[in-house]
Structure 1
Amino acid sequence: MTTTLSGAAEAVRLPVVVGTARPLGPNDIAFAAGALGVEEAAYRAVLLVETGGRSAYRPDGRMPILFEAHIAYRLNGGVTVPGLAERNWDRSLYSSTASGEYDRLDRACQHRAIGSAVALQAASWGLPQILGSNHAMCGFGDVESFVRALADSAFAQLAALNSFVTARGLLPALRGKRWSEFARGYNGTAFRENLYDEKLAAAYQRVRGAAGDGVLGIGDIGPDVAALQRALQRCGFPAIVEDGDFGRRTANAVEQVQAVHRLPVTGRVDQRTAIALGLV
């Protein structure tokens, strides 16, 4: 998808949504967490809640996004566009698919009451789901540069998260695992409507518990996940990318292996599943 940006003279087409889509390296999350002085499990909890364990890029190379109609309404001067620019946040406006969210973004870019500059700022992008309107806090002079950088590199998405958390003054809350305080600053004053703080606390306990239990699951990253993905490729899942990032596609493949071997279908790799995959 390309987005038309209306300039003073003529429309300029910029490939801002699809970039080189470089995945995370095995140690990128640990490095990013360490740069902030944040416990890795707490850092991973934020990413897990924001993306539900999805990878930094879809198979087509695009990032996970959500288009926020209430943000578009605020940025376009309070002009209502049904489904695309609305006064109040409304969960039902979201599409049920990732492609559907990009369709909404595209329609907003094309709509004369919204336009590309507003539409890109009204979408939340990548693993940390940062609104484009916060591009300056992430160190970018304009939203197009912000989106291009995040489209090119998953590590750039983590760098944007680090800059945003620092600029918003949220580091003490994240370091201290004060989830309500962090949620208010990161997700807005209405965070309790989404139980955002409770989800963060639960995700932290899940990630922290999984770190030492020898079980791989969604949200895990590193060489062990890469080895799992190679095993899945050998087992007949060529579409699985060896990126060391345990996302939903990897979990779906694990579930299929578990079903074939008549194991509990959990999507997580325990000892019995590892044996079935030839990992041990």
Structure 2
Amino acid sequence: MPIWKGTAAPMSAGAFASAAMLLNCEEAAIRALWDVESAGRGFRPDGSLTRRFEPHHMPRSLWPHIGFRPGALAPWKASYRLKTSAREEMFSKAEALDAEATYRATSWGGPQIMGFNCEAAGFDTATAMVKAMAASEGDHLSAFVTLVTSWGLASAIRAHDWQTIETRYNGGGQGGAYARKMEAAYRRHSGGVASPAVLRLGSSGPGVRRLQTALQIEADGSFGPQTDTAVRRFQSGVGLQVDGVVGQVTWAALEARTSAAPVKQATPVDRVSELVGKGAATVGTITTAAAGLQAVVPEHAYDLMIYGAIGLAVVAGGTILSRRVLT
């Protein structure tokens, strides 16, 4: 039996709550990241570990032997475009050639931890990590807690700083897509509570002006040294971690003491609505309905429903517009 197929014990009741206590964050925040990474599934229906092989992380000398030929594409892009069947076939060939390298080039389990991050997750080798995770989802969660702690991401989870998590955990290059999905997942698990936009040195806009007004300093909309000093002074005064980052925890403290009303983070629906613009009136109806759907529909199905519906609305709107122009 392969090492990535073990007893596959499901997550125990209270496991997420215990992990949240260890990281001093909300359970909903951990569940949000978990959902986005693996759609909430640590194991496949056959009991094997959820996995995603990334052939571009294999030694280049082995690429021809496993059938990975990026051609003119960037290796990561060619890897991203692979069909599941081709990806699985490459995984089998690679495992037979160099198992440890293959496990290091694969993301595993519920939190989809890349094998080459095994040391940060508390294991000497990727092989050891895969063996442990094959036993239970509880081992997935333990590896995740160790990983985010070693990376210093616990504070980002507490702040709902999804963009930082996207960049560090997913390697960036997603343009905020993962961050918006995490926000949507957080809202599902938190009963519809929206996260405030995370502000730090270099931020600008209406959210910064609201922050500056709450801190009773000049509201110029630019998060510069003066605002950074004021934020750190406030955090120190209320007993928070002094890091100059205004996320969920700092905003909650501000709201408890002032009339501050933070700008909220966007979800995929918010982003699509923004891109479509005011010209597509149908989008308003779709977005309103989507708010209810988010609470009950799984992430992957939800995305298909929303993007598909909005896509049809845009096509219909374009057709109507073209008819008006041409007739």
TM-score in same-fold range (> 0.5): yes
**Residue 29, structure 1, aligned to residue 11, structure 2:** no
1:140, distance to aligned residue in structure 2 (A): 0.7
> Could you tell me which of 36, 42, 54 is aligned with 1:49?
36
Question: For each residue in 1:30-84, what CA deviation from the matched residue of structure 2 results, as whole angstroms up to 9, or x when unmatched?
Answer: 211221111111110001100123x222221101111012222xxx156643654
Partner of 1:105: 91
1:101, distance to aligned residue in structure 2 (A): 4.5
> Could you tell me which of 188, 199, 223 is aligned with 1:206?
188
- Report the TM-score when normalising by structure 2: 0.54
Of all paired residues, the percent bearing the same amino acid is 32
Looking at structure 2, the residues matched to 21 and 49 of structure 1 have their Cα atoms a distance apart, in angstroms, of: 20
1:92, distance to aligned residue in structure 2 (A): 4.8
Change (3 A) 1:159 1:101: farther
Partner of 1:94: 82
Looking at structure 2, the residues matched to 85 and 170 of structure 1 have their Cα atoms a distance apart, in angstroms, of: 35
**Residue 122, structure 1, aligned to residue 105, structure 2:** yes
Aligned AA for 1:61?
A: G
1:106, distance to aligned residue in structure 2 (A): 1.1
Aligned AA for 1:106?
A: S
Partner of 2:123: 140
Change (3 A) 1:85 1:157: farther
Change (3 A) 1:204 1:136: same
1:70-89 aligned within 5 A = 70-72=56-58, 76-77=59-60, 80-81=63-64, 84=68, 86=70, 88-89=75-76
- The answer to whether the 8 A contact 1:179-1:201 is kept is yes
- The answer to whether the 8 A contact 1:41-1:204 is kept is yes
| Gaps in structure 2 of 5+ consecutive residues | 194-291, 302-327
**Residue 16, structure 1, aligned to residue 6, structure 2:** no
Change (3 A) 1:151 1:84: farther
| Gaps in structure 1 of 5+ consecutive residues | 3-14, 220-246, 249-280
- The answer to whether the 8 A contact 1:63-1:126 is kept is yes
Residue 124 of structure 1 aligns to a residue whose secondary structure is strand
1:197, distance to aligned residue in structure 2 (A): 1.3
Question: For each residue in 1:117-150, what CA deviation from the matched residue of structure 2 results, as whole angstroms up to 9, or x when unmatched?
Answer: 2111000000000001111111111111100000
- The answer to whether the 8 A contact 1:79-1:85 is kept is no
Partner of 2:136: 153
Looking at structure 2, the residues matched to 189 and 218 of structure 1 have their Cα atoms a distance apart, in angstroms, of: 24
Change (3 A) 1:217 1:189: closer
Partner of 2:251: none
Looking at structure 2, the residues matched to 52 and 42 of structure 1 have their Cα atoms a distance apart, in angstroms, of: 14
Q: Which has the higher helix share?
A: 2
Looking at structure 1, the residues matched to 121 and 169 of structure 2 have their Cα atoms a distance apart, in angstroms, of: 13
Residue 139 of structure 1 aligns to a residue whose secondary structure is coil
- Report the TM-score when normalising by structure 1: 0.63
> Could you tell me which of 26, 45, 48 is aligned with 1:39?
26
**Residue 64, structure 1, aligned to residue 50, structure 2:** yes
Looking at structure 2, the residues matched to 195 and 216 of structure 1 have their Cα atoms a distance apart, in angstroms, of: 21
Change (3 A) 1:144 1:79: closer
